[in-house]
Structure 1
């Protein structure tokens, strides 16, 4: 038995943050029903990198495994009635509508809690449910820029550096996932459901807990250096350096020991805390010049046995071939009805008694509409009528 087996999640979210959070619940055994329009959720039609797949593009595929799909027209009275019927027996409801949309659709927390007081209702937004930015688009890159994160790396004078991942979306998904688990624990203790509100701005801001505390409590300015130091608040050498054949990462090296290993005499006698700040550009430049003399593998053979924190810079192909990744079982593989053999990152938490699993891949549009409606008490004739009337869709 899995940890969340027996719990029903209604996932009305779109794009990345909401679907990713709901997928994590499904990985732990929850019955996640994706409620999507009869035309299919937005992410089905928006590919990343042109990776469209056969019937399901990779973006949707990666965020919607372990879900069943009920394709329904929520703008119709019949469609809304179907959803409210499902809410009566649900444990979790997830939505990331723009603020105010849930109320207009009649699926806001107060309305659904009146039907099911035990419901854990998760409302996700870009900036919060109210305030001066409530109507702004909550897109990942916009939140990275607003949160201050882009000015913690890179060189002074260069443009701000965004992350190469949808960082704000992913952090928000993890935050919502934690919120659901905490609210379910509260419900197990008290019998009460509740409203859980998560916004991208707060999620990506609190993700920078240490950096912002250095600024707010320690009084240190967020100052980028002339060299491409990897973090504005970490001492040198700290960053990515070119080698004879590739790149290497160096972090928190003892200057005297490191200097002796790479043949840089100027590091001898330097204090790791004070000098590494006062001379961080010079330290970076000297390190860069020395590390070009050998290959990454040669440097790792020298530095790692000496206790220097160093590592390679992988591309995705290198990551997939990495022996530790293979040992950890970081990626999962499964067969999909239309996409064939699928390999994606799995669930990152290991449970000794209740492991995660992939029970099904991402669904086709409305693939499980009949199944879900039958479980909700609709008979075959009623389901046929909903399908014929275009209220629901089954692929």
Structure 2
């Protein structure tokens, strides 16, 4: 059974998170994603994530580069650039997140590559945009979170701004680039025309706040943080994380009547849901906080559930992985990697009834598929050996697996089986 993007070829020249994550999603849908990286390997191969390292492939790189083949090549050399041009002529997508000015200097800008292949969808990811006063600023996730305004939409007045607990800007930029490539491919199917797709991190994180920024820009309501740690400045109380007798739960804008019943707090029943829950946020939060300390999380979740009040547990990652709905959804995929062993990682989040995504391969070693890809271009073994000797290209070979080891760890597909 074919995957949705089977037959499409993607050249992924990106580094770090946003670009590789977008490329991985294309690979999850069946595209042949060739990761074009320096002979020594992409920068992210050589840094740890949260102190975690792998055997030969570190955790960060491993998580963002499955379903790709690796071509290790020196694009600063004439021979290496010519190999890339040969690949471009038969590619469908070119993905890069070079600093502004680097792509033209390497001879891999849209104007150059579109002349070689007018049907090429060329996706370029930048931090702030490829022109303008900030174009040379570093496009790093936390810096963009700070600029986006989002840090002031939660927390307590007087407290420091609240950054997200994940690489939020990188992740939403990856999703935006993924959507942009798919839309451009649909346009090409209809017209035969390729095009340039430009995505930047600043616009992506601003667009994610469609409601919040519109409340400000259209409704004229500024971000007023309250004295209690409210979870969102534009949502009525109570809304946030609350301590219980044995842990924490989340609670989201219940009706005051139902909350009064749950907490045995008659004063809440007299409050107006729309008016008082904004104007008296601190009072409501404090009252709720004190009451919730009297029972366990499980007890409160049962009480709130019976009254139709939205509440839920607060998880750590160990809880997430064991959650019965997460297990039922097959949210995580598992597969065997030749150097890292058994890998368990979040899968592709969209389920297709006829064309499920799958893990065809884990993250490659640097240059693991160099020889294979060049053979597909028609190069002979002697020519490939000469390029290796001159260090225009590089290759790595995974350790051999015994038949017994291969059978012990079959691949696990992500998505529903039709």
TM-score range, shorter chain: over 0.9
What is the CA–CA distance in structure 2 between the aligned matches of 1:305 and 1:358, rounded to whole Å? 41
TM-score, normalised relative to structure 2: 0.94
How far does the alpha carbon of each residue in 1:103-122 deviate from its partner, in whole angstroms, 9 at most, with x for none?
Answer: 01000000000000000000
Give the C-alpha shift of residue 265 in structure 1. 2.3
Name the residue aligned to 2:130. 129
Q: 1:391: which partner in 2?
A: 392
Q: Which position in structure 2 is the counterpart of 1:205?
A: 206
Where do 5+ consecutive residues of structure 2 fail to align?
397-418
Looking at structure 2, the residues matched to 377 and 196 of structure 1 have their Cα atoms a distance apart, in angstroms, of 30
Q: In the TM superposition, what whole-angstrom CA distance separates every residue of 1:51-102 from its partner, at most 9, and x where no partner exists?
A: 1111110000000000000000111111111111110000000000001100
Answer yes or no: is 1:266 the counterpart of 2:274.
Answer: no
1:11 aligns with 2:12: yes
Shift of 1:260: 1.4
Q: 1:208-219 maps to which residues of 2 (within 5 A)?
A: 208-219=209-220
CA distance in 2, matches of 1:64, 1:283: 47
Matched, 1:42 2:29: no
Distance 1:333 1:139 in 2: 30
Q: How does 1:273-288 map to 2 (within 5 A)?
A: 273-288=274-289
Pairs aligned (count): 395
Match of residue 139 from structure 1: 140
Whole-angstrom CA distance in 2 between matches of 1:267 and 1:335: 55
Take 1:68 and 1:266, find their aligned partners in 2: how far apart are those partners?
A: 63
CA deviations 1:5-32 (Å, max 9, x no partner) are 0000000000000000000000000000
Q: Which runs of 5+ in 1 are unaligned?
A: none
Question: Which residues of 2 match residues 284-295 of structure 1 at below 5 A?
Answer: 284-295=285-296
RMSD: 0.6
Give how far 1:305 is off. 1.7
User: Could you report, residue by residue, the CA deviation over 1:136-162 in whole angstroms, capped at 9, with x for unpaired residues?
Assistant: 000000000001011001111110000
TM-score of the superposed pair, with normalisation by structure 1: 0.99
* Alignment of structure 1 residues 88-167 onto 2, 5 Å: 88-167=89-168
Partner of 1:59: 60
Structure 2 Cα separation of the partners of residues 305 and 9 of structure 1: 51
Name 2:342's counterpart in structure 1.
341
Residue in structure 2 matched with residue 332 of structure 1 by the alignment: 333
Give the aligned partner of residue 186 of structure 1: 187
